[in-house]
Amino acid sequence: MEILHSKILGEGQPFIILHGFLGMSDNWKTLGTQYSENGYEVHLIDQRNHGKSFHSEEFNYDVLSEDVIRYMDHHNIDSAYVMGHSMGGKTAMQLATSNPDRVTKLIIADIAPRYYPPHHHFIFNGLSHLDFDKISDRREADEELSKHIKEKGIRQFLLKNLYWEEKDRLGFRFNFDVLKERMEEIGENISSNAVYEGPTLFLRGDRSEYIQPDNFAEIKRHFPQAEIETIDKAGHWLHAENPKQFYNKSLAFLNS
């Protein structure tokens, strides 16, 4: 069985961080380093079909959660603090509700336990216009992408996934074809009777639409101990848009 790729920082209590859709462990390097300086052994994981982890046709929250359990077993981790952002948050919810004894505390960043309709079409449309037979560097890739995706921050996030497949040919680290096909899976919810009784923190961006006040009751139903906090001046990428407040609130919860 293949084991997820990760970067491990520091020593102390195991703390697993799961990136969002089309992201990778590198997105969390700065914050991960800060947590590692405060007594945590931080595991920045690439989920399947992302980053340097293996590619697979199978892609849903059950298998994503099982990947993390297998990773924990491989690294002899009985129980860990677990944090996930967006898609990684759904993986973390699935992990905690199906294996509560393996999760010490849970942090969910800007995603609720509910169904989200597919909304990444414009991203895949833009990415599908990148012809690596003609594009020879990141600048050219950004120019082409900018015709389809106006937000510079989103383009920069996506372009982190480019790497040199061969000496003079760029490619995507993520599994473009499978992820495009499985967009519906990304929005799926955890099962209706899933419950995690352990300490839980939900962090939401004040400018994000992913967690609304009318989701609070549903959060409490699945996660009875959940605290819900808001990060100021932040949208869906709250950890990148207000990293200081995100770090302070998350660390206070971990240490409490």
Active site residues: 86, 177, 236
pLDDT of residue 167: 85
Other C-beta atoms lying within 10 Å of the C-beta of residue 33: 14
The pLDDT tens digits of the residues spanning 35-85 come to 999 999 999 999 999 999 999 999 999 999 999 999 999 999 999 999 999
What is the per-residue pLDDT across 217-253, written as a single tens digit (0 to 9) for each? 999 999 999 999 999 999 999 999 999 999 999 999 9
Determine the 3-state secondary structure of 18 from DSSP: strand
The reported pLDDT for the residue numbered 121 is 85
Dihedral angle sign, alpha carbons of residues 66, 67, 72, 74: positive
pLDDT at site 234: 95
- Strand runs (DSSP E) across the chain, as ranges? 6-9, 13-18, 40-45, 80-85, 103-109, 162-166, 169-172, 200-205, 226-231
Domains (range + CATH), the chain: 6-116+188-255 (3.40.50.1820), 121-181 (no CATH)
- What are the tens digits of pLDDT across the range 144-190? 999 999 888 889 989 999 999 888 899 999 999 999 998 888 999 99
State how far the Cα of 117 lies from the Cα of 58, in Å rounded to an integer: 20
Residue-level pLDDT at 168: 85
Pair type for strands 13-18 and 6-9: unpaired
Which of 31, 38, 1 shows the shortest CA–CA distance to 17?
Answer: 31
> pTM for this structure?
0.95
**What 3-state class would DSSP assign to 79?**
coil
Average pLDDT over residues 82-91: 98
